Structure 1
Amino acid sequence: SNGETEKKEMGEEEKSGDQGKRGEEVDAGALFVLKSKGTWWHCGFHLTTSIVAPALLSLPYAFKFLGWAAGISCLVGGAAVTFYSYTLLSLTLQHHASHGHRYLRFRDMAHHILGPKWGRYYVGPIQMAVCYGVVIANALLGGQCLKAMYLVMDPNGEMKLYAFVMLFGALLLVLAQIPSFHSLRHINFFSLLLCLLYSASSAAASIFIGTTSNGPEKDYTILGDHETKVFGIFNAMAIIATTYGNGIIPEIQATLAAPVKGKMVKGLCMCYTVVIMTFFTVAISGYWAFGNKANGLIFTNFLNPETNHYLVPTWFIFLINFFTVLQLSAVAVVYLQPINDILESLFSDPTKKEFSIRNVIPRLAARSFFVVVATVFAAMLPFFGDINSLLGAFGFMPLDFV
């Protein structure tokens, strides 16, 4: 009967969830980082934090290379393709879980479905590069937002960007020590609220500037010669791919308590409701207000380059940058989880307690090292919009769109 079949599937999933953590070789990464305790709500919070991130503030910049029709078409197409791709990926994982094989990581899934070489030499390295690239990009943008807050308080301040990147890195250093992915559920709930706040604030500021005489003259012409326009189109598509990108779907699904049936799809529906509310409002309002003068980060358009005065109240600038910094820290920690999983597998002893001295010291040292290196890289890289397009072209496109 259907009832017996469902019970059998539930039993298999629970068994496989346990095996995923205590299989033939006990895996400290799965045991300590990828704990399967979450609900679909928690999954929705993780998904929203990993997708609806401050990279969306580059969308008006992408539109300036595409124009209205192509820009909106790419935004709608990106939403449709990624929602379908993530749902398909989730259902594939769910199918294997119902047959007693619950895969907790992207590379494990690739290993068993595509073959060992795909998992080890293609999917695994690309995923790690994407995750680390996101951490670096977030550290850079976090530094830029902190500097913007500093300049609001002291317009003649002389502190350099790298100092603010280091400050953001210090915040990340503390948050990186949160033990497991599941432990981030409350932080990621606040992250969801924050992305709604800064997206609404950004759209409101763009509309305000666009309706006043202080804003730039609206020009939606795509600038440049034929070659420049072609490169611009590819750049814009890569930015949109990054904005929708998520290279950690299996790891997020791994946080769900068994049985996983239907939970991930509910989480994706929650996430894409927020996506539609934020991506489209920021992209359309920003491009409408600034046209082909839209910058790589829409916040920088709120400063008049000729007079060096803000086009909106300074307290407003301070507030939206503050919201963004807080959410950036949550996004960076989420993308550190697959790296933490590998570090835990390499350096922790699964036969000892999670918070034993034997496991805490290597965890603290390894996680701190990776955050410090990411912060140093971020301090050396000046352009957030360009990092966005690079991540999209070489990371998110092959993982999520191919």
Structure 2
Amino acid sequence: MAPPPKSDPFLADDSHREVDAGAVFVLESKGEWWHAGFHLTTAIVGPTILTLPYAFRGLGWGLGFFCLTVMGIVTFYAYYLMSKVLDYCEREGRRHIRFRELAADVLGSGWMFYFVIVIQTAINTGVGIGAILLAGECLQIMYSSLSPDGPLKLYEFIAMVTVVMIVLSQFPTFHSLRHINLASLFLSLGYSFVVVGACIHAGLSKNAPPRDYSLESSESARVFSAFTSISIIAAIFGNGILPEIQATLAPPATGKMVKGLLMCYTVILVTFYSTAMSGYWVFGNKSNSNILKSLMPDEEPSLAPTWVLGMGVVFVLLQLFAIGLVYSQVAYEIMEKKSADVQQGMFSRRNLIPRIVLRTLYMIFCGFMAAMLPFFGDINGVVGAIGFIPLDFVLPMLLYNMTFKPPKSSPTYWLNLSIMVVFTGAGLMGAFSSTRKLVLDAKKFKLFSSNVVD
């Protein structure tokens, strides 16, 4: 049996919080800044960027690039502010390793603790479902290209992905994913370059699809589509787990997260704009929620060499496993906080059996929901509106203002307040429009459908 883990003095002020297994095991603090960069890049730069052309079809060229740029600047600023708040709390002897505890401590409100838990749960579960769904779709794409009339359905591929995720979910700590997330970073660059090259090839070929960049004919439909697209972009930039990522850094963590952010946003700059521009340029308002499907239409020949697209699909599939693991960590931390005994070893029978059972059940639940409700584009919009916008566009500014108390006459105070007001409104409208689209799309499919609804 492994010896009991030593208490980490940087986890928290012992007079305020009891050290628990979720903190000591799942969120163990051993990482360097580049490990945080790997985790953060995996959390943000994922196959959801393949929905950017789809998001642009609800905004058009000008507004699309404007929203993409504003979201990028605001999220970098928000994550920077949150890292400053976390650094400040650490210097004060209160190192926070959970978003919910940070919010409750700074804002002094017990209900905020549960608010963040609910929002994080929605994000983590939504992303987990979306990752499994998209991975199943990747397998279906490869299978269909090899056996167009094959009998296997989407839900069967989702079941295969779920089995793999159950095995991978047994990595015990967030820090233990660092090598997987390094590979994930390179995979994101790989499929981005593949998609951009394929789109350029398709756009210049004699079989290039007709381009139409017009928006919805109805003004109300244009408004709803625009807010749905904004929610999707928010979901793409969001992560909602920055404190948990910073928790993996070896103490003292001060200043390290900013370096990780710079690494992540360098990758964002390379991948987001190129994918959005090339995909929307070729397909316009016919862009699919997965641009790879636009490049590989069901009834027509592929618009780029099949082997190139196949390589892109494989890269996406592999990275989705990493994304599913990253966004499961908060759920696992909550589980182990309640189920594990910190006085026993991480791999003791007392802790190992509950870990295997609970993580397996969690993955089965995500896989079941992915098979039952194949709404990838719509899930992105809803998760972005109700999850990422509050946690990544509103709370960081509020936490900064409450912690550092900038003068009300200062530009920082008013900038933060303006961002909170604007994105609260955008989140409310986005939640309504995304839910509306989800309800409308519910008419297009049956439970356990073999097609992902746009």
Residue of structure 2 aligned with 1:385, choices 377, 386, 391: 377
**Paired residue for 1:11?**
none
Residue of structure 1 aligned with 2:188, choices 195, 199, 210: 195
Which deviates more from structure 2 when the two are superposed, residues 254-263 or residues 77-86? 254-263
**Paired residue for 1:351?**
343
Distance in 1, matches of 2:96 and 2:21, equals 15
Gapped regions of structure 1 (runs ≥ 5): 1-13
Residue of structure 2 aligned with 1:114, choices 103, 107, 112: 107
**Paired residue for 1:271?**
264
**Paired residue for 1:53?**
46
Distance in 1, matches of 2:276 and 2:116, equals 31
Q: Is residue 2:20 matched to residue 1:38?
A: no
Q: Return the letter of the residue paired with 1:335.
A: Y
Q: Return the letter of the residue paired with 1:76.
A: T
Equivalence map 1:167-246=2 (5 Å): 167-246=160-239
Residue 221 to residue 82, structure 1, CA distance change in 2 (3 Å): same
Q: Return the letter of the residue paired with 1:334.
A: V
* Root mean square deviation, CA, Å: 1.5
**Paired residue for 1:330?**
322
Residue of structure 2 aligned with 1:361, choices 353, 366, 376: 353
Q: Is residue 2:82 matched to residue 1:89?
A: yes
Distance in 1, matches of 2:206 and 2:60, equals 23
Task: Measure how far apart 1:218 and its partner are.
Answer: 1.3
Residue 24 to residue 69, structure 1, CA distance change in 2 (3 Å): closer
Q: Return the letter of the residue paired with 1:397.
A: I
Task: Measure how far apart 1:382 and its partner are.
Answer: 1.8
Distance in 1, matches of 2:266 and 2:151, equals 42
1:26 match: secondary structure? coil
Task: Measure how far apart 1:350 and its partner are.
Answer: 0.6
1:296-351 alpha-carbon deviations (Å, 9 max, x no partner): 1101111245x432112222222111110110000010000000000001110111
Equivalence map 1:127-166=2 (5 Å): 127-166=120-159
Distance in 1, matches of 2:105 and 2:168, equals 33
Q: TM-score, with normalisation over the residues of structure 1? A: 0.94
1:12-52 alpha-carbon deviations (Å, 9 max, x no partner): xx975154699753300001000110000101000000000
1:65 match: secondary structure? coil
Residue 22 to residue 345, structure 1, CA distance change in 2 (3 Å): farther
Distance in 2, matches of 1:98 and 1:15, equals 15
Task: Measure how far apart 1:267 and its partner are.
Answer: 0.2
Which deviates more from structure 2 when the two are superposed, residues 158-167 or residues 119-128? 119-128
Residue 26 to residue 260, structure 1, CA distance change in 2 (3 Å): closer
**Paired residue for 1:401?**
393
Q: Is residue 2:54 matched to residue 1:74?
A: no
Which deviates more from structure 2 when the two are superposed, residues 97-106 or residues 314-323? 314-323
Greater fraction of residues in helix = 1
Q: Is residue 2:253 matched to residue 1:293?
A: no
Q: Is the 8 A contact 1:152 1:318 kept in 2?
A: no
**Paired residue for 1:371?**
363
1:263-320 alpha-carbon deviations (Å, 9 max, x no partner): 1000000000000101100000000111111111101111245x43211222222211
1:60 match: secondary structure? helix
Between the two proteins, what is the percent identity of the paired residues? 48
**Paired residue for 1:259?**
252
Q: TM-score, with normalisation over the residues of structure 2? A: 0.83
Q: Number of matched residues? A: 388
Equivalence map 1:3-14=2 (5 Å): none
Task: Measure how far apart 1:223 and its partner are.
Answer: 2.7
Task: Measure how far apart 1:117 and its partner are.
Answer: 2.5
**Paired residue for 1:98?**
91
Q: Return the letter of the residue paired with 1:53.
A: G
Which deviates more from structure 2 when the two are superposed, residues 109-118 or residues 354-363? 109-118
1:310 match: secondary structure? coil
